[in-house]
Amino acid sequence: MGKFVIKHTATGVKFDLKAGNGEVIATSEVYTTDSACKNGIESVRKCCEGGVEDQTVEGYETLKHPKYEVYQDKKGEYRFRLKARNGEIIATSEGYKAKPSCLNGIESVKKNAPEAEIVEE
């Protein structure tokens, strides 16, 4: 079972969604308050069933929000970002060397986010 881990940083509050094995699947932006961070978690829960827009293929189909956007970063690694209904980025992934691993990360968010407990560190 996954969990949302809330962490206080020097500049605010953020969360990591971790899989049952403790691996970080997705990370939030830094929020200014605990309540804003918890609202971000609820937004991930509501939007995690979104479709996947693969921006690494030519002529990809643009999907409506909420959605996951799969893209390649400057290092050539595959990443995803989850966008809410309003188009805001609510969670991002680490870099993956292979696209199938990135897609597995998205499936892990879909599986873990709806029931994940919230813990504070």
DSSP label of 62: P
Query: Tell me, what's the pLDDT at 1?
Result: 87
Domains of the chain, residue spans:
3-120
84-91: which pairs have CB atoms within 8 A and are 24 or more residues apart? 84/43, 84/46, 84/47, 85/47, 89/29, 90/28, 90/29, 90/40, 90/43, 90/44, 90/47, 91/17, 91/26, 91/27, 91/28, 91/40, 91/44
Query: Tell me, what's the pLDDT at 6?
Result: 98
Pairing of strands 117-120, 3-8: parallel
Domain 3-120: which CATH class? mainly beta
pTM: 0.94
Residue 60 has pLDDT above 90, yes or no: yes
Q: Please, what is the average pLDDT of the chain?
A: 97
DSSP label of 84: -
Residue 106 has pLDDT above 90, yes or no: yes
What mean pLDDT do residues 82-96 have?
97
Determine the Cα–Cα distance for residues 58 and 111; give it in Å rounded to an integer. 28
pLDDT tens per residue across span 2-56: 999 999 999 999 999 999 999 999 999 999 999 999 999 999 999 999 999 999 9
Residue 97 has pLDDT above 90, yes or no: yes
What mean pLDDT do residues 96-102 have?
98
